[in-house]
Structures are given as structure tokens and as C-alpha cells.
Chains A and B, each alone.
Chain A
Amino acid sequence: DQQVKQNSPSLSVQEGRISILNCDYTNSMFDYFLWYKKYPAEGPTFLISISSIKDKNEDGRFTVFLNKSAKHLSLHIVPSQPGDSAVYFCAAKGREGGSNYKLTFGKGTLLTVNP
């Protein structure tokens, strides 16, 4: 059963507009959420994160919003740039016995920003 869901496999936006990538989770034990960005032939790189004690975290053009009651988070990119074109993975983390934390990833959303 998929615990982290990214229901949109792809998203296309115009340069300068807002990109909104969505993510839903089912496990209420998740307490930390991350977004990773992945270019072709490269490994994922960390983009932004949010703790469950917050509902918003902002870093430059990137903002992540967390709605705990809905078990939903979203990544906003404003303004979108062609260099933002990549696959974006949502990931969640929670304690699973002992002190080991593991990331659970969504399937990813391919963002294409058109010039």
C-alpha cells in the first residue's frame, strides 16, 4: 500500500508562472516531509523540507505547505524557470522502531517549464 502518493505523473507550466506540485500521505506517524529534485542521469538532490510542527516553510522561490488534517503537502515554485524542469519526489519520514529513520518516497512528478 502506497503511503506517499503523488497523483500527477506530470505537470507543464509556462515560464514565470506558478508551479504547484501535490503530495498526499496516509501514515499519521510521519513527522517530517521533504522534496527532492532529480535531473536525468543524476541522483536526487534535496530541495526543501518541513516538520510536522509547522504548516509552511519558504526558501527563495520554493515554498512547501503542510496540511496535517488533510495529510496533504504541496510545493509551490514562483516564478517557475526552465531550469526547474525535473522530476520532483515527495518524501516522508517517521520513526519505525528504535532510532532508525527511513524515507518513504512518492512516485514523482515530472515538471516541465516551457520558455
Chain B
Amino acid sequence: NAGVTQTPKFQVLKTGQSMTLQCAQDMNHNSMYWYRQDPGMGLRLIYYSASEGTTDKGEVPNGYNVSRLNKREFSLRLESAAPSQTSVYFCASSDSGANVLTFGAGSRLTVL
């Protein structure tokens, strides 16, 4: 049982480049989330998708876009990367209204 799978695990970008972080879950969860973790800042919600076909902004959505491709997959796109987006990104999923999120292993992104 893979749980939540994120790709890539590591990525280095130059300022202005674009990229997409992929996330897939195999637990038949309805809700999916993207968080970023920065030193001394904890985990901050970027975007979430309560169910297939819906997406909503979280705490820090600027500079990002998301796509809920289907029930399993939720991608995060950086259209024009900035050094401030250097971070570790975590995807998570949960049942609707459930209290516990299951996280992926993370994607470490460095923007030069």
C-alpha cells in the first residue's frame, strides 16, 4: 500500500522556470492538500481540494496553481519560480471531513 506518492523528490530550478509537482494517493480519499514547510514556519497550507472537481486557496496560495486531475491525483504548479518558493512541499490526503491527514514523503525544491 503506497499511500501518498509525490514526484519528484528533489528539484533545482532557476528563477523564472516553471514546474509541476505531482501527487497521487491510492486510499480512495476525497480530499487532498498541498503544504509547504519552511524552517521556523511549520507547515502552511497552499491549496486544497475538498473533493474531485473543487479546489480552494489555503494560507499561502500566491505563485501557485493546482489541478485536481481526478480523484487520485492533485498537482501543484509553479508558473514562474522565485527563490522565495525554495521549500519542502508535502502532499496529503484524507477522507471527507476526516480529522487525520496522510502525508507523502515530501518534495524538496530549490530555486536559484
Partner-B contacts on A (CB < 8 A):
4, 6, 9, 32, 34, 36, 41-46, 49, 89, 91, 93, 98-108
Contact = CB atoms under 8 A, between A and B. Distances in A.
A42 B42 contact: no
Interface in B44-103: 44-45, 48, 50, 56, 58, 90, 92, 96-103
Contacts of B98: 101
Contacts of A34: 99-100
A105 B98 CA distance: 16
A4 to B, nearest CB: 8
Chief secondary structure at chain A's binding surface: strand
A44 B90 contact: yes
Interface residues of B, number: 27
Given A100-B56, A105-B43, A43 B105 contact: yes
Contacts of A42: 105-106
Contacts of B33: 102
- Report the 7 A-B pairs with minimum CB-CB distance, sorted nearest first: A43-B103, A107-B42, A105-B43, A100-B50, A105-B42, A46-B100, A43-B105
B21 to A, nearest CB: 13
Nearest to B51: A100
B103 A107 contact: no
A101 B97 contact: yes
Given A43-B90, A43-B106, A102 B45 contact: yes
Counting chain B CB atoms within 10 Å of each CB, the highest count among A4, A9, A43, A103 belongs to A43
B41 interface: yes
A103 B18 CA distance: 28
A43 B4 contact: yes
B87 to A, nearest CB: 14
Nearest to A98: B50
Contacts of A101: 97-99
Contacts of A99: 50, 96-97
Contacts of A93: 99
